[in-house]
Amino acid sequence: MRIVLWLPIVIRLVLSLLTRTFFAPDEFYQSLEPAHHAVFGYGYLTWEWVSSSPIRSFTYPALFVPFYHTLRLLCLDHTYTLMWAPKLLHGSFAALTDISTFLLAEKTIGPNYAFTALFLSLTSFYNVLVLLRHQQLIQDHVNGFCVVFLALGSVVAFHL
């Protein structure tokens, strides 16, 4: 079973590094550019970020700030590392989404179907296209793990 848990990690990290295209401009202008601007003090910010009352939260770009800051401190803030760090982070989160899908299927419908669920998650066009790129990934990941914890009985029930 350990190989099953490593398979999504390897696949998602490889896919994240091989992806050379973008799906929507928001992949950069609503996440990486604000994070880059916060750490390095320059870069392009869209009107959503420069208005007196921004319409977007900095929560999602804040995920990238520690990586960019670490690269800056280590003097590794080169073009390729600045592009690859977020891709590796997204690949890791996408792998956790696949793993939670496997664990949920294993718990709810049995181990025989868990491999099928993992296969479907790994080969889903939506997952390949979006999980490596967008803020939606974080929501999918959090929801997936919450459902897994509920299914595994790890959440304490509160009775009013």
pLDDT digits (tens, 9 = 90+) for 8-37: 999 999 998 888 877 776 766 678 889 999
Q: How confident is the model at residue 3 (pLDDT cuts 50, 70, 90)?
A: confident
Least confident of 4-13, 54-63, 66-75, 104-113: 54-63
Across 50-64, average pLDDT: 83
Domain boundaries, given as residue ranges, for the chain: 2-151
Q: By the 8 A CB rule, do 132 and 12 touch?
A: yes
Residue 135 pLDDT: 67
Q: By the 8 A CB rule, do 77 and 40 touch?
A: yes
pTM across the whole model: 0.79
Share of the chain residues as helix, strand and coil, in percent rounded to the nearest 5: 70, 0, 30
Q: By the 8 A CB rule, do 113 and 105 touch?
A: yes
What single-letter DSSP state applies at residue 21?
-
Please report which helix (H) or strand (E) contains residue 62, including its range.
Answer: helix 59-62
Whole-angstrom Cα distance, residue 82 to residue 87?
Answer: 9
- Cα of 2 vs its chain's centroid, Å: 22
Model confidence at 160: pLDDT above 50: no
